[in-house]
Structure 1
Amino acid sequence: NFTAMTRLDHNRGLLQLAHCINAHHEGLDIHPTHIDNFVIWGNHSPNMYPDVNHATVRGRKIKDLLPHPDWITNEFMTRVQQRGKEIIEAAGKSSAPSAAMSCVDQMRDWALGSDNKWVSMAVIGKNKESYGIDSYGVDTDLCFSFPVITDGESWTKVGGLEMTEFGYSMLQRNVQELKAERDMVRNLMGCEVNFGESWVPRYGWLWRHYGGASLQLEREEGEGRYCVAELGISVVAGAALGRVVGVVHGNRKTSEAALEVLKVFRPQVVYLEADATSFRLTAE
């Protein structure tokens, strides 16, 4: 599987909520880990949507403990959305330790499980565990931050949540932003590739992306298909962007087939070195 990190934003939101509750309710002594069901939706950008509508602390609704309903939109959301910029302006550098800690948090939960606790992860719309779960109007080929639960092997989106009209508008704002970012780099790819679950013929090949970090390439001959290569997305993306890319493992036939496919992305892709089991590529 493939995920991107919005855990830093998630952790910042939890900390802001805990600070606010403790400032207005003496003796509660709330720690960020006491807060459940808080979510970061969308892109890792100032348009992200920190959502407290489902959040609870020790069984109580967070919204019942906040000083005023307007605090969420007037202070909390802006603080979480702009926190990175605020730190850079104040300290003259990014908050690398916080980002590193958030990375550890995300990988720990992904590898060991979140103990049925919601965490925020940017994931590609669907994986096999999330079939039939509402995507909340988000295109399933976008990498978008959702509430997920992890079990130590995979992630599953939390489905069936009620969205306010404002919340839905925030999700759609993020969808449009991510689509715009995707469209900005399409010309770098040399061709369009469908990162969905459908088969798409490209120059006699069939491409299939399973929602994880691999792209399977199949050749159609007569009435049958056979797999000729399975590449890491980093290899494909590196070739598309004209950078040196890594080693692809397989037999010589697989290597030659994969090279032909990568030339669809970037005609300048050439061999640097090859042997019976692997080959290394670069783009001139």
Structure 2
Amino acid sequence: MAFSMKQRVDAGLTRKAAHTVSRVPAVAVRAVAAPSAPAAAPASETKNAYGVFRLSYDTQNEDPSLTRSWKKTIKVAVTGASGNIANHLLFMLASGEVYGKDQPIALQLLGSERSKEALEGVAMELEDSLYPLLREVSIGIDPYEVFGDADWALMIGAKPRGPGMERADLLQQNGEIFQVQGRALNESASRNCKVVVVGNPCNTNALIAMENAPNIPRKNFHALTRLDENRAKCQLALKSGKFYTSISRMAIWGNHSTTQVPDYINARIGGIPATDLIRDNKWFREEFTPKVALRGGALIKKWGRSSAASTAVSVADAIRSLVVPTAPGDCFSTGVISDGNPYGVREGLIFSFPCRSKGDGDYEICDDFIVDEWLRNKIRASEDELQKEKECVSHLIGMMGGACSLRGVEDTTVPGEN
């Protein structure tokens, strides 16, 4: 088995011709001679060239005792790979911190025309870090190529909100991106690819990608609400004076927006209901939820930066929740398709539920959570918002008759996570 770096420049106008990809085997131990120099490329092609690596790695050159126990390499595609979130996440992935210390990984990084050189820089840093589990890094600007045979797709890249832009505008602009990327996943990725959407508005972006990828099981699409769960655990720990590891069954319901519902009713602290340990119903109802939903904005005011690092950690946590068995009686939060859910949430939405996993990459929605009238009303409000978002992007998901009613209404985007 051999891995080789490829550099290709095409100047045509078709999608394939416009694609350029470089492969960087991060554990390369030798440089191979460049092939015989081809005839000089026309200036129009040369100026578009990028990718400077000419390395190869051949496992047959290793002592068999070193490679005999290697697991099959998993392929993980990451969009927005030169951005701030990816800058933190990629090194966790490469180190084995996410998928396991015995799991080889190949990273397939998607950028844009403007970020080609930045992608090379990312690949160079990964290469110089000498991660023994990182078998290969590939970079490119064509999702059909970068998603090739991907086992996981971590969809971080999305357009940020511009001045004066409403949530409806953000849904439209990013929806077009996720429509294209969903079609690319459908054509190129593994048939059982697991997809985690981070780019906001992540619930509806995940819905768009899912509806445009009918060859991939609907159940395999996730929207990131783990950062909201982590923030909720932080607030419960601070309020109770207990360490965060004692907090369990902390679920986020609904949309990754200010209509999200951090569920304190079912949460436990040291196995005790949170409401029994923190006897302050006013704090739960009037302070807890806003502190969770507005945490990103508070962070920006303090530091002047968005929450890229904690977002990357939450992506890693979300993946680990699917590849490591859930502790008995506990749960994790993730936005998944609502089809067949046990709580009466309308079907056809990407909605955050409490879930559990056997560690095989799959999950099930927990069916033992108490939903009282207060919690049900909050869940319904987030459900209604997601239905309205779905109608705003109806033309991107093949749904007839949708009309956007989100213009001119209160903005519910989580501050700092546009």
**TM-score normalized with structure 1 length:** 0.60
Following the alignment from structure 2 to structure 1, what is the Cα–Cα distance between the partners of residues 252 and 227? 10
Correspondence for 2:353: 146
Which AA in structure 1 matches 2:375?
G
1:120 aligns with 2:337: no
What secondary structure, in the 3-state scheme, does the structure 2 residue paired with 1:179 have?
helix
CA distance in 2, matches of 1:2, 1:152: 16
SS for the counterpart of 2:306 is coil
Contact 2:269 2:277 (C-alpha < 8 Å) held by counterparts = no
**1:49 Cα offset (Å):** 0.4
Do 1:42 and 1:174's aligned partners in 2 also have CA atoms closer than 8 Å?
yes
Find out whether 1:11 has 2:224 as its counterpart. no
- CA distance in 2 between partners of 1:62 and 1:108 (Å): 25
Q: Please list the CA deviations of residues 38-93 of structure 1 after superposition, one character each: whole Å capped at 9, or x if unmatched.
A: 11100000110011111112222211121511110121111001111222233222
Are 2:244 and 1:32 aligned?
yes
Give the one of 239, 247, 255 matched to 1:43.
Answer: 255
The yes-or-no answer on 1:187 pairing with 2:395 is yes
Query: Identity, % of aligned pairs?
Result: 34
Structure 1, unmatched stretches of 5+, are 23-29, 194-284
Question: How many Å apart are 1:142 and its aligned residue?
Answer: 0.5
The question of whether the paired residues in 2 share the 8 Å contact of 1:115 and 1:151 is answered with: no
Q: What aligned pairs does 1:210-225 form with structure 2 within 5 A after superposition?
A: none
Amino acid aligned to 2:245: T
Counting matched residue pairs gives 179
The whole-number CA distance in structure 2 between the counterparts of 1:59 and 1:37 is 9
Displacement after TM superposition at 1:192 (Å): 2.5
2 CA distance for matches of 1:94 and 1:33?
Answer: 25
Say whether the 8 Å CA contact 1:8–1:102 is kept in structure 2.
yes
TM-score in terms of structure 2 length: 0.41
Q: What displacement does 1:123 show?
A: 0.6
CA distance in structure 2 between the aligned counterparts of 1:161 and 1:110, rounded to whole angstroms:
20
Residue 178 of structure 1: aligned partner:
386
Q: Give the alignment's Cα RMSD to 1 decimal.
A: 1.6
Alpha-carbon shift at residue 186 of structure 1 (Å): 1.4
Q: Distance in 2 between matches of 1:176 and 1:42?
A: 10
Displacement, 1:31? 1.5
SS in 2 for 1:144: strand
Deviations 1:178-197 (A, max 9, x none): 011111111245x328xxxx
Q: 2: distance between equivalents of 1:113 and 1:5?
A: 19
Where in structure 1 do 4 or more consecutive aligned residues deviate above 4 Å?
none
Provide the rounded CA distance (Å) in 1 between the counterparts of 2:317 and 2:396: 33
1:161 is matched with which residue? Answer: 369
Write the letter of the residue equivalent to 2:273.
Answer: K
For 2:227, what is the secondary structure of its paired residue?
helix
Q: Distance in 2 between matches of 1:95 and 1:120?
A: 19
Preserved CA contact (<8 Å) 1:87 1:95 = yes
Mapped pair 1:75 → 2:287: yes
Amino acid at match of 1:164: D
CA distance in 2, matches of 1:122, 1:98: 18
Question: Structure 2 CA distance, aligned partners of 1:67 and 1:125?
Answer: 33
Counterpart residue identity of residue 354, structure 2? P
1:251 matched to which residue of 2?
none
| CA positional deviation for 1:107 | 0.5
State the SS of the aligned residue for 1:122. Answer: strand
Distance 1:111 1:169 in 2: 33
For residue 202 of structure 2, what is the aligned residue in structure 1? none
- Contact 1:118 1:148 (8 Å CA) reproduced: yes
1:21 to 232, 240, 256: 240
In the TM superposition, residue 9 of structure 1 has moved relative to its aligned partner by: 0.4
Cα distance in 2, alignment partners of residues 182 and 170 from structure 1: 19
